[in-house]
A = this chain, B = another copy of it.
């Protein structure tokens, strides 16, 4: 008998019919003799609707009260799921963050889980009761309800799995696993049977929406096996776990992409200390997140300096950069908000120089211009014109043979 923590997202419990389907799925697992603890998100768009309601009352609602309000979404879904399980003859019990408690830091809207008191849950599991825990919420030391940020239920699930020493933490969602790239863009995209935490982190950081960065980080830190599964149809999903041995590590595991990019380039600035800082300081002061940062090798003591921001921040960032650059005679500022980023991710590339070569070769054959390049140990990201994105991802998917399962 193993212990599985399952997490069902908002879409998975988005209606009464879906709640019954989820209950049946849990009952099946329990019927196979597994111990199951469940974490649920709020039904469908409940959280969004509550945020909207709060904004109607007050454009800038008090963070403590907003958290108290949002936490009700998960309390509703836990109670309903427990009812549905009981209807199937299973013993089940809902738990909210105040009851267990799930202790967090006192940062409304972005609290961090510091401790989960699991005594009651262990007692439930020993008595054959399926505990249904409210995701996304916590309790600060002063007793306030807190929330741990969007996608927080995934993190609740991993934390719970760690505390309960579960054998696996399953994230049930509306996709049936992690793919080599987005199947809506590349029909040959293949579901991965497994992927390393490191690769998943790069994919999540590069725009893959399957799992939240924080949840993967958390699982990686504690070595908790994660599995992404569909809550709509049966299947093995994708297992995310510690890295495989070097031999079996695939060269490239997947291609992530992100359309919401905008690039700004300051050309012909003096190559001297402090210039990059002078350009970026006003951006960070304006609370604009910078993604890629690229500085080219200097030419005649002058350099080009480029970075990318979210497309929504483009106008403001361009304005701030123009101001900052006006102090450097001869410098020019150009921007482009019709760009997209694609990232090739794979643990194997650590030891294979050929991945980058193949990338540039493939894009050259397709006459696709590469605007910016940035690399990490297991990832190469390039910025291309948005109109070229789909063709670039498709060509690279074929070039790395991602449509075929690895021979291992």
With beta carbons under 8 angstroms apart, the residue of B61, B65, B87, B99 that contacts A57 is: B87
Q: Are A65 and B53 in contact (CB under 8 A)?
A: no
A84 surroundings in chain B (CB, below 8 A): 57-58
* Interface hits, A93-124 → B, CB 8 Å: 93-94, 96, 98-99, 120
Q: Is A214 an interface residue (CB 8 A)?
A: no
A62 contacts the other chain (CB 8 A):
yes
Would you call A86 an interface residue if the criterion is a C-beta within 8 Å of the partner chain's C-beta atoms?
A: yes
- B83–A58 CB distance below 8 A: yes
Asked if A33 CB lies within 8 Å of chain B CBs, one says: no
Report if A99-B62 is in contact (Cβ < 8 Å); known contacts: A57-B20, A79-B68. no
CA distance A61 to B96 in the complex (A): 18
A143 within 8 A of B: yes
Residue of B nearest to A56 (CB): B16
A62-B83 in contact (CB<8A): yes
A358–B76 Cα gap in the complex (Å)? Answer: 56
Q: Which of B20, B50, B65 contacts A82 (CB 8 A)?
A: B65
In the assembled complex, the Cα of A53 lies from the Cα of B279 at a distance in Å of: 54
Chain B residues lying within 8 Å of A120, measured Cβ to Cβ, are 143
A263 an interface residue at 8 Å Cβ cutoff?
no
What is the number of residues of chain A that contact chain B, defined by CB distance less than 8 Å? 37
What copy number does this chain have within its complex? 2
A72 part of interface (Cβ distance < 8 Å):
yes
A175 contacts partner chain B, Cβ-Cβ < 8 Å: no
- Binary interface encoding of chain A residues 77-95 relative to chain B, with 1 for a CB under 8 A from any of its CBs, else 0: 0111011101100000110
A211 within 8 A of B: no
- From known contacts A16-B57, A53-B16, A57-B16, infer whether A79 and B65 are also in contact, taking CB-CB under 8 Å: yes
Interface string of A113-147 (1 = CB under 8 A from B): 00000001000000000000000000000011100
Taking the closest CB of chain B, its distance from the CB of A33, in whole angstroms, is 24
Contact of A213 with B by CB under 8 A: no
| Cα–Cα distance between A96 and B84 once the two chains are bound (Å) | 26
A71 on interface, CB distance cutoff 8 Å: yes
Minimum CB–CB distance from A325 to chain B (whole Å) comes to: 41
In the assembled complex, the Cα of A73 lies from the Cα of B50 at a distance in Å of 12
Q: Least Cβ distance of A229 to chain B in Å? A: 23
Minimal beta-carbon separation of A20 from chain B (angstroms): 7
Which 6 A-B pairs give the minimum distances between C-beta atoms?
Answer: A69-B79, A72-B72, A68-B79, A98-B98, A58-B87, A58-B83
